[in-house]
């Protein structure tokens, strides 16, 4: 990370403890991120965003109580500036389009992580915009 750059505040959500740990570890190792919270379902995501005010939410598509799509729709209503990336094991262009229609800023297949995830984050948070 460049000197003078600030860390991106991130909330990570996945109902799989293994996947959640993996994503968090990768982000922590990268050094550009401050993981401010985690969640195991969409309702927890909504509560955590209201309380912790992250800049970026990384959420799994398939979660109990509220899916990633439903979560993105709800978050977009109250937090228009929030960046939302949905990740999933599922594939397909129509799924990507549905995520974007529901308010997500990007979509990453788990099979393409972490490379595609980092590419999407760089697109949403250009390095120049993060310098103090």
What would the pLDDT profile of 54-113 be if each residue is shown by its tens digit? 999 999 999 988 999 999 999 999 999 999 999 988 666 677 888 888 899 999 988 888
Print the domain residue range for 100: 8-125
Q: Please check whether residue 4 is in contact with residue 28, taking contact to mean a CB–CB distance below 8 angstroms.
A: no
Residue 1 pLDDT > 50: no
Taking the model in full, what pTM does it have? Answer: 0.89
Residue 43 lies in a domain: yes
2 within a domain of the structure (yes/no): no
Res 92: pLDDT: 66
Cα–Cα distance for residue pair 92/110, rounded to 1 Å: 12
User: Is 132 within the bounds of a domain?
Assistant: no
For the chain, what is the domain count? 1
Specify if 92 maps to a domain.
yes
Instruction: Return the pLDDT at 5.
Output: 72
Residue 19: inside a domain: yes
- The pLDDT tens digits for 9-18 are 999 999 999 9
- Residue 119 domain-assigned? yes
Which CATH number goes with the domain that contains 101?
Answer: 3.40.50.2300
3-state secondary structure of 118: helix
Indicate the SS3 state at residue 125.
Answer: coil
Q: Considering the domain boundaries, does residue 130 fall inside one?
A: no
Any domain includes 12: yes
The pLDDT score that the predictor gives to residue 96 is 81
């Amino acid at each position: 990370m460049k000197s003078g750059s600030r860390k991106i505040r991130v909330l990570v959500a996945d109902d799989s403890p293994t996947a959640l740990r993996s994503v968090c570890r990768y982000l922590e190792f990268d050094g550009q991120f401050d993981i401010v919270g985690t969640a195991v379902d969409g309702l927890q995501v909504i509560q955590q965003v209201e309380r912790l005010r992250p800049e970026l939410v990384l959420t799994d598509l398939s979660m109990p109580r509220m899916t990633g799509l439903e979560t993105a729709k709800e978050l977009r209503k109250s937090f228009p500036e929030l960046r939302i990336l949905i990740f999933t094991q599922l594939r397909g262009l129509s799924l990507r389009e549905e995520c974007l229609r529901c308010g997500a800023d990007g979509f990453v297949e788990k099979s393409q992580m972490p490379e595609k995830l980092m590419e999407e984050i760089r697109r949403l948070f250009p390095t120049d915009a993060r310098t103090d």
